[in-house]
Amino acid sequence: MTLALVTGASSGIGLELARLCEAEGFDLVIVANEPAIHSTGLAAQAVEADLATPEGCAAVLAALADREVDLLFLNAGTGLVGSVLEQDLPGIERIVNTNVLGTLRLLHPLARRMVARNAGRILVTGSIVGYMPGSWQAIYSASKAFLNSLCGAMADEMKGTDVTITCLMPGATETRFFERAGMQDTPVAKIKKDDPADVARAGFDAMLAGKAQMTPGLLNKAQGAAAEVLPAGLVAGLSAKMFKPKE
């Protein structure tokens, strides 16, 4: 395998995934929607593109030209704290366009090319909140539920090929996500979070091993499992306690 593509690579989990690829000697294309993608210090082709738009996704595919992607890391994502009805519709649409459509617009063509040549590994960053009716971050949680489900289905559909897809489902991780989503005044912003380097390593290793899912950390695994069996109303209430901003 020679070429790795990492989205959301200017910071956090994405940057750590890109560093792992560089350490392993892969050619590297990194993508983010901010100028910081050009100053990561990595020996990589940097593409500044907004994956919330068809044009941004097309720019990434154009940057690849005729090269085949061997390792595909679809990590870009965004969130927004607040109740659904208090959020403005353009902000809601941006979450869906980035997390869902932005992922699909790259995953679909690149995974097809992998299957056609019968080789490749894919890692999509979902979340344990995809298991939860996430009160006060409902759109983000719903978008991650889509990704969690999509990856599980595609993993089954691609059985019999040498292409695998892994869903990385972390819990709260020490990244700029909370700042960007306006979550600085929420209880979840104050708790101890996972190291993005550790999360990236867990996802990277799981992807290379062809695992369908990876949730790093025993506590995160327990939270995800509990969310699947507890009543939805109870889980939503617990989510509100963590994500509702303090007044």
CB atoms within 10 A of CB 20: 20
Strands 163-168, 3-7: pairing is unpaired
Identify which of 46, 54, 66, 52 has the alpha carbon closest to the alpha carbon of residue 6: 46
Q: Which of 73, 140, 177, 243 is catalytic?
A: 140
140 is catalytic: yes
Two structure tokens written together for 71 = 């390792």
Half-sphere exposure of 114 (CA within 13 A, CB side): 23
Q: Rounded distance, CA 72 to CA 29, Å?
A: 10
Catalytic residues: 140
